[in-house]
Amino acid sequence: MADARVGRLASQHRDAAEPPPVSYGVLGRLLGFHLRRSQTAVAAHVMDRVNPEDAITPGLFGALEVIAANEGLAQSDLAKAMGVDRSSIVKAIDQLEARSLIQRLPSDRDRRRHRLCLTPAGRATCARLRERFLAQEAVFLQARLSAEEVETLMGLLERLHGAADPACLA
Amino acid sequence: MADARVGRLASQHRDAAEPPPVSYGVLGRLLGFHLRRSQTAVAAHVMDRVNPEDAITPGLFGALEVIAANEGLAQSDLAKAMGVDRSSIVKAIDQLEARSLIQRLPSDRDRRRHRLCLTPAGRATCARLRERFLAQEAVFLQARLSAEEVETLMGLLERLHGAADPACLA
DNA sequence: TATTGTTATACTCTATAACTATA
DNA sequence: TATAGTTATAGAGTATAACAATA
């Protein structure tokens, strides 16, 4: 998902109106279209500036951050929080563990469960990435929206999906 | 799961709060997170009610709609409009053509190009899907936001990505 | 030389189903 | 029986690189 299209639109071989005035039809009135394009644009911007050092994806950082905010949670809980099947989490956990950012620790209450915990290195990396993601999103957003508009947008999106953060108050 | 018999199993680790109060940490302040969750939620809602009859995806409908709004455009133009590589479009076009919704017609100006055009059936299907997508998005949105808030949201997202519709005025 | 469509290939993300070990 | 983690597998969706035909 590199999406590094910073390249030029080289075709200058025609006269005046080069860019084909393609119409999006009804897509301009479909929220799903705008959501997808916006999500892609933000992810591409952040990935282009965060990835080089850490080779991390937004999804992988999301998992790391949720583990950091809920140390000791089980993989099933993480999957539920991320809105994916528990089988889809395994490889992500594998990657984070292979980088020594997290550990699967045994639970003594229930020997089926793995308690997901950050390593000291994981805590440091997570803290660094957290600032990186916040900072780079800010760069992207500040070029396009006012601070107030960003707040409005966040609030509307939060109401759109149900995955708000009831425990974020703590 | 209808948890009718609470007395038996419910006491282990399900004492007071049934849903694990997982915190999302900083994700709640990251627009990328909210965009992804919202996009997934809208797509799932629409897919669940549009798909059964037509077996179409938002992406496939998007391609169909752009072709409908720009009949005769080339595959490269469609790819550019959709924001993907031209090689990624081929299979989508194949599918739409296999369902007899569109045709690849030869261009007499440039024999490398294929002019993408809808069949009569494609025009009918596109019109039907267009209403379906609009209607089902409306169902989803009306349960969550006011009409004014939807307008605000659309406007903000449109400014977030650059893929606005300059020709949508027509 | 550059562009269009195409193919081969690979990689990511995701889901389903089945397995195991626990509970 | 039900749950937690895992594996195998499959299917979208995307990208890169190379190719033939054409410009």
- pLDDT tens-digit series, residues A142-159: 999 999 999 999 999 999
pLDDT of residue B70: 98
Binned at pLDDT 50, 70 and 90, residue A1 comes out as very low
d(CA A62, CA A51): 14
Protein footprint of strand D, defined by Cβ closer than 7 Å to any strand atom: A 1-4, 74-77, 86-87, 90, 93, 104, 110, 112-114; B 1, 57, 59-60, 84-85, 87-88, 91-92, 110-112
Residue B133: other Cβ atoms inside 10 A: 25
Residue A154: other Cβ atoms inside 10 A: 18
pLDDT above 70: percentage of residues in chain A: 84
d(CA A55, CA A4): 15
| DSSP codes, chain B | -----HHHHTTSS-SS-SS-----GGGGG-HHHHHHHHHHHHHHHHHHHHHHHH---HHHHHHHHHHHHTTTB-HHHHHHHHTS-GGGTHHHHHHHHHTTSEEEEE-SS-TT-EEEEE-HHHHHHHHHHHHHHHHHHHHHHHTTS-HHHHHHHHHHHHHHSS---TTTT-
Report chain C positions within 7 A of protein CB atoms: 2-8, 12-18, 21-23
d(CA B67, CA B79): 11
Quick one: which residue's CA is nearest to D12's C1'? B57
pLDDT of residue B50: 85
Chain B residue closest in CA terms to A19 = B77
pLDDT of residue A18: 54
Block means of pLDDT (10 residues each) for chain B, length 170 residues? 28 42 96 98 94 87 98 98 98 97 97 98 97 97 98 97 56
| DSSP codes, A1-28 | -------------SSS--S-----GGGG
Residue B152: other Cβ atoms inside 10 A: 16
As a whole number, mean pLDDT of residues A32-53 equals: 93
Binned at pLDDT 50, 70 and 90, residue A164 comes out as low
Q: Which residue has the tokens 């705008």?
A: A34
d(CA B104, CA B76): 13
With contact defined as beta carbons under 8 Å apart, do B50 and B129 qualify? Answer: yes
Residue in A18, A26, A78 to test binding to B, most B beta-carbons within 10 Å: A26
A46/B32 Cβ within 8 A = yes
Please give the residue that has the higher pLDDT: either B166 or A31: A31
| DSSP state letter for A58 | H
pLDDT tens-digit profile of A61-117?
Answer: 999 999 999 999 999 999 999 999 999 999 999 999 999 999 999 999 999 999 999
Domains of chain A and any CATH numbers: 53-153 (1.10.10.10)
With contact defined as beta carbons under 8 Å apart, do B124 and B117 qualify? Answer: no
pLDDT of residue B18: 55
With contact defined as beta carbons under 8 Å apart, do A69 and A170 qualify? Answer: no
Please give the residue that has the higher pLDDT: either A31 or A166: A31
pLDDT of residue B52: 74
Number of helices (H), then strands (E), in chain A: 6, 2
As a whole number, mean pLDDT of residues A9-16 equals: 32
| DSSP state letter for A109 | S
pLDDT of residue B21: 83
Q: Which residue has the tokens 């950050």?
A: A118
pLDDT of residue A13: 34
Please give the residue that has the higher pLDDT: either A164 or A69: A69
Is the pLDDT reported for residue A27 higher than 90?
Answer: yes
pLDDT of residue A20: 55
